[in-house]
């Protein structure tokens, strides 16, 4: 049986951009592929006619599948939904606005054929960015690195190809506040990188503004690490340790040796040291209970991740997508 590649494209209000992108850029590349393929278009609750456009494409070509969300759930969830629907031996994700060049698809596939399990598109290192974006993304990776997530190459994007085995593992993750690339980097597997230049949008406006990106960054910090909680625990440890040492010093110096250095510790000073000691203990116990809460939080979020509008979707596998196919 010949291998199949699934392409997953999240679409939110992209009627103008996607029309151009599909006809002029993506379809010609797909036509050249030596593999069988499917194109999964995830409509993330668009309100601008994108749905009708993609439904039209799916009517004409059975390899094109449309998954329609009942409302806007966000790109990260759309990518997840598309990957769960995909049946290919490899799955490639890309944006709908033409900023990620489909001419590179053969390069991604080539790396996969050579054994890479995740092929990641890295935004051109010499691109011009706005100052805020530059500093913001630098800080993001710095903090991520400081929190122990070292495996993220700056500039990594969702323009990537993953092997079926990675997808199977990824599909078992159920957390909600997710950022696809962060979770995948956390998963490991054999990675390869391809540099590309992020083009201009074909039409429309980016829907990720500063507020959304900031929220996404917070989400990934929280979901990938418990370090923020531990910071306060460490501060507590430090305070407890320092006040303990100081307290012992006071007891020995003043009360046992009779204040040979002449420091004349007063009652309020001793009390302050004791209070500092207690504050340290409180911070430590807070960090410990916060850790428990974070675990409970992770375990209890049992809500469905998204709701699919089945009437509006097209050519789905209706949950019959195979769990594993060997490469």
The residues that touch Mg ion, with contacts defined as CB under 5 A, are: 95, 97, 99, 206
Integer CA distances (angstroms), 91 to 86, 118, 172, 253, 315, in order = 7, 10, 16, 70, 18
Choose from ligand UDP, Mg ion, none: what does 72 bind? Cβ within 5-8 Å by kind.
Answer: ligand UDP
Could you say which DSSP state residue 156 is in? E
Residues 6+ apart with CB under 8 A from 293: none
Choose from ligand UDP, Mg ion, none: what does 89 bind? Cβ within 5-8 Å by kind.
Answer: none
Choose from ligand UDP, Mg ion, none: what does 207 bind? Cβ within 5-8 Å by kind.
Answer: ligand UDP
Geometric angle at alpha carbon 74, from 71 and 78, rounded to 5°? 85
Crossing angle of helices 267-300/227-250, nearest 10°? 160
DSSP readout, 267-294?
Answer: HHHHHHHHHHHHHHHHHHHHHHHHHHHH
Geometric angle at alpha carbon 241, from 240 and 244, rounded to 5°? 80
**Closest distance of CB 284 from ligand UDP, Å:** 40
**Closest distance of CB 133 from Mg ion, Å:** 13
The residue to which tokens 């080539």 are assigned: 110
**Closest distance of CB 202 from Mg ion, Å:** 10
* Nearest CB to Mg ion, comparing residues 133 and 278: 133
**Closest distance of CB 139 from ligand UDP, Å:** 17
The backbone torsions φ and ψ at residue 7, rounded to the nearest 5 degrees and listed phi first, read -110, 130
Q: Six-digit token pair at 65?
A: 């599948």
The residue to which tokens 């030596």 are assigned: 34
* Nearest CB to ligand UDP, comparing residues 68 and 164: 68
Choose from ligand UDP, Mg ion, none: what does 11 bind? Cβ within 5-8 Å by kind.
Answer: ligand UDP
**Closest distance of CB 140 from ligand UDP, Å:** 14
Q: Contact positions toward ligand UDP, by CB under 6 A?
A: 10-12, 14, 44, 72, 74-75, 78, 95-97, 99, 206-208
């Amino acid at each position: 049986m010949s291998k199949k590649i699934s392409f997953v494209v999240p679409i939110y209000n992209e009627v103008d951009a996607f029309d151009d992108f599909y006809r002029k850029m993506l379809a010609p590349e797909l036509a050249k592929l030596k593999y069988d393929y499917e194109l999964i278009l995830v409509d993330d609750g668009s309100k601008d006619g994108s749905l009708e456009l993609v439904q039209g494409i799916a009517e004409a070509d059975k390899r094109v599948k449309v998954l329609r969300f009942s409302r806007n759930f966000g790109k990260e969830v759309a990518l997840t939904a598309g990957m769960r629907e995909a049946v290919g031996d490899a799955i490639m994700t890309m944006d709908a606005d033409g900023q990620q060049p489909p001419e590179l698809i053969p390069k991604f596939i080539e790396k996969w054929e050579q054994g890479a399990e995740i092929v990641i598109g890295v935004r051109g290192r010499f691109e011009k960015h706005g100052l805020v974006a530059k500093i913001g993304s630098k800080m993001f990776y710095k903090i991520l690195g400081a929190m122990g997530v070292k495996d993220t190459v700056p500039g990594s994007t969702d323009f990537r190809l993953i092997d079926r085995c990675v997808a199977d593992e990824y599909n078992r993750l159920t957390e909600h506040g997710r950022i696809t690339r962060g979770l995948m980097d956390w998963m490991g597997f054999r990675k390869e990188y391809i540099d590309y230049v992020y083009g201009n949008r074909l039409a429309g406006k980016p829907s990720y503004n500063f507020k959304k990106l900031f929220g996404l960054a917070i989400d990934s910090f929280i979901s990938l690490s418990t370090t923020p909680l531990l910071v306060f625990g460490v501060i507590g440890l430090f305070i407890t340790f320092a006040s303990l040492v100081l307290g012992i010093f006071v007891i020995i110096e003043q009360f046992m040796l009779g204040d040979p250095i002449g420091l004349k510790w007063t009652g309020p000073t001793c009390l302050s040291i004791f209070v500092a000691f207690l504050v340290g203990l409180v911070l430590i116990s807070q960090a410990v209970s916060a850790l428990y809460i974070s675990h409970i939080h992770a375990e209890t979020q049992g809500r469905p991740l998204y709701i699919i509008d089945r009437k509006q979707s097209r050519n789905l596998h209706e949950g019959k997508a195979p769990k594993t196919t060997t490469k």
